Amino acid sequence: RRVVVIGGGAGGPSTAAEASRRDPSLSITMIEQGEYVSYAACSMPYYIGDLIKDESKLIARTPEKFREGGVDVRTGVQAEGVDLKDQVVTLVGGETLPFDVLVLATGARPILPGIPGEDLEGVFTLKQLPDAIGIKKYLREIKCRKAIIVGAGFIGMEMCEAFVDAGVETTMVNMGKMPVPRWDPELGQLILESLKSHRIKLLAETKSLAIEKGGSCNLRLITNNGHFEADLILLAIGVRPSVGLAGEMGLVLGRTGAISVNLSQRTSHPSVYAVGDCCEAFHRVSKQWTNVPLGDIANKQGRVAGQNLAGFPSIFPGIVGAQAFKLFDLEIAATGLDEREAIAAGYSPVSTLIWGEVVPLSLPGETRLGLKLLADKSTGLLLGAQAVGPHGAVSRINTLSAALWSGLPVEEVGYLDLAYAPPFSRAWDLIHIAAQDLMKEMG
């Protein structure tokens, strides 16, 4: 059987590698419009900040390695259309690739603000490896060493740190009042303090209106809050699933605008699978299909699709929305639903936010952590959590993700058996304290 995989980012390579391992008799072709396949996009900020010196360190698997494993990889090749009746993919240039099974792993595209001047030299988005290579090269050349990041989401935040590491003075321009709205404003305060202490200016409630050529620096950003000059402007206002091909093929798109799939990663057409940022995933807490463009999800969905198309039935059991990023000395992590999502999913959320030291105060080092828990008033089920602090936020959120995964009530979270020794935690961990606090809130 002939398998064609469109997209060589994370989900496509994962599908192709798994399918070829499971059934070496499959004839698998993976096409990628760009130059690179199978690379760690999540590490690009650390490459730009020069923590990772060389882009080859980001490549997980080269086309040669794929070929050795029986997957034909073709780069610089773009799929232009798919004929589902005759089961062929048409490439730009007219070549056709017949398939028995098709996998869409077309990822997501950066959203552009649609303002004049966004195509000027020195204006970047960061989605694919050539973007990161371009930014790093450009940073070496700029004279006035100033950057502006438009958008204060997690990629904007990671890039603040990268620019500071690269010795570039950074200003953030954000439409919202607080950065990363997935985290509550009380916890967001820590993020603001961290930005300030690293001399990053954050312009909140500021709308970018235009980009033009600058005077003292290359570029000037015009906003409703003044004009700012920089050599580099990074547009980081989010991504949208790439569903152009899927839409033209008549595949069903979900409520989120991403490709609708079942737990086997099959789309509405029996010969077509979809994986990664371009498709939806089942959220185990909201019980709704959602689109969460994250690399770990793309990898897992790819493995499941690869097993299924090779004849080994498998399901992707869904997500709970776990996510994290680092900002200088802070770990910032969340899982499950926030209040707005909980209400939209039909829950009656009640929450608590506690602050405390992760380890006994007698030990050296700063370990103050803010932990917020959310539960459903009527069922007592844990719904979500957020944590920000210099130490232990991610491990606590991972623990709470496991609790959400198995549908634990808050009462049980309050007595979870967690490893305790003074260098790591306290006898009553902040998780226990927050859960018991929440129990009181619920009455």
Query: Which of 3, 8, 179, 191 forms a contact with ligand FAD (CB under 6 A)?
Result: 8
383, exposed or middle or buried, with CB in 10 Å at 0-12, 13-18, 19+?
Answer: buried
Residues 42, 144, 217, 278: which is the catalytic one?
Answer: 42
Task: Compute CA 89 distance to the chain's CA centroid, rounded to the nearest angstrom.
Answer: 29
Which of these ranges, 103-111, 137-145, 282-290, 389-397, lies near ligand FAD under the rule CB under 6 A?
A: 103-111
Q: Tell me how far, at minimum, the Cβ of 332 lies from ligand FAD, in Å.
A: 11
CB 419 within 8 A of CB 425: yes
Question: 325-338 burial string, b = 16+ CB within 10 Å, else e?
Answer: bbbbebbbbbbbbb
| By the rule CB under 6 A, 45 interacts with ligand FAD | yes
| By the rule CB under 6 A, 281 interacts with ligand FAD | no
| By the rule CB under 6 A, 277 interacts with ligand FAD | yes
| By the rule CB under 6 A, 298 interacts with ligand FAD | yes
**42 annotated active-site:** yes
Question: Of 320, 327, 348, 342, whose CA–CA distance to 408 is shortest?
Answer: 320
| By the rule CB under 6 A, 267 interacts with ligand FAD | no
Distance CA 210, CA 425 (A): 49
Which of residues 7 and 306 has its CB atom nearest to ligand FAD in the complex? 7
Query: Which of 79, 203, 358, 410 forms a contact with ligand FAD (CB under 6 A)?
Result: 79
The sign of the dihedral angle between the CA atoms of 254, 259, 263, 268 is positive
| By the rule CB under 6 A, 331 interacts with ligand FAD | no
Strand, coil or helix: 247? helix
Query: Which of 245, 319, 374, 403 forms a contact with ligand FAD (CB under 6 A)?
Result: 245
Q: Tell me how far, at minimum, the Cβ of 99 lies from ligand FAD, in Å.
A: 14
Q: Tell me how far, at minimum, the Cβ of 295 lies from ligand FAD, in Å.
A: 3
| By the rule CB under 6 A, 15 interacts with ligand FAD | no
Query: Which of 3, 4, 9, 300 forms a contact with ligand FAD (CB under 6 A)?
Result: 9
Question: Of 286, 285, 271, 279, whose CA–CA distance to 300 is shortest?
Answer: 279
Give the phi and the psi of residue 340 in degrees, each rounded to 5. -65, -45
Which of these ranges, 9-17, 227-235, 282-290, 375-383, lies near ligand FAD under the rule CB under 6 A?
A: 9-17
Question: Of 171, 177, 221, 220, whose CA–CA distance to 196 is shortest?
Answer: 171
User: Which residues, including other chains, have CB under 8 Å from residue 116's CB and lie 6 or more apart?
Assistant: 210, 211, 212
Which of these ranges, 174-182, 211-219, 293-301, 305-313, lies near ligand FAD under the rule CB under 6 A?
A: 293-301
Contact residues for ligand FAD (CB under 6 A)? 6-12, 31-34, 41-42, 44-45, 78-79, 105-108, 126-128, 155, 242, 245, 276-278, 293-296, 298
| Active site members | 42
